[in-house]
Amino acid sequence: MPSGYSFVIADDHPLFRGALREALSGIGNVTAIHEAGDFESAKALVVANEDVDLVLLDLSMPGASGLAGLISLRGIHPAVPLIVVSAHDDPATIRRALDLGASGFISKSASMEEIRGAVQAVLAGDIAAPVGVDLGVERDPEISDLIKRLQALTPQQTRVLGMLAEGLLNKQIAYELGVSEATIKAHVSAILQKLGVDSRTQAVILFSKIGSDPLQPAS
């Protein structure tokens, strides 16, 4: 490893960011800890820091709509492990986060040692879920189907879907991603097909279902 670890902490509570920073600092060999208080800043940090080793993401910060935020960030930087940090720590939320590409889940009630342990596990290539929680299986067939469809999207399609959800037009997405409008049209067609919908609006509505905030566990 050329230098130390580089982290992004995305959480809108300064006190909790401070606690996460303290936990990360205790890992050793840390060169940079970037902080974001809203989702736009978090995305900008992930885009700007190609060498980031790990992202810690709060699901309910301004601009992030629950798990939709996780999916959008995964689309930007699919290779970077991402740990969801949330007060919504019911089994359904944890399982859905892991199913949608999170490498770990830390409850906001976790101790310093638990936070540090989860981060070290993910940096070592493992999946970190809270100990003693039975994640069970998805009981909502609609959500289960949606997760499977979202898993079928390529990273770039995932990123485009996140931008559609933000209300961007094809030409704006093309500009942001540095590709042609025709390429974006092709991505949108593929997204609609994989999600099994007929229009961008339907795709965004479907996408928002996974991101409802606060996340309600399936009863």
Closest by CA to 206, choosing from 96, 68, 84, 93, is: 68
pLDDT for res 75: 86
For the stretch 79-106, pLDDT in tens is: 899 999 988 888 988 999 999 999 999 9
Place of tokens 């997204």: 191
Domains of the chain in start order, with CATH, are 5-123 (3.40.50.2300), 141-210 (1.10.10.10)
pLDDT at 214 over 50: no
For the stretch 28-51, pLDDT in tens is: 888 899 999 998 899 899 989 888
Q: pLDDT band at residue 211, thresholds of 50, 70 and 90?
A: low
pLDDT for res 59: 84
pLDDT at 217 over 60: no
Place of tokens 């097909």: 193
Contacts 24+ apart (CB under 8 A), 63-66: 63/38, 63/39, 64/10, 64/38, 64/39, 64/213, 65/165, 65/208, 65/211, 65/212, 65/213, 66/210, 66/211, 66/212, 66/213, 66/214, 66/215
Report if pTM > 0.75: yes
pLDDT for res 215: 41
For the stretch 169-186, pLDDT in tens is: 999 999 988 999 999 999
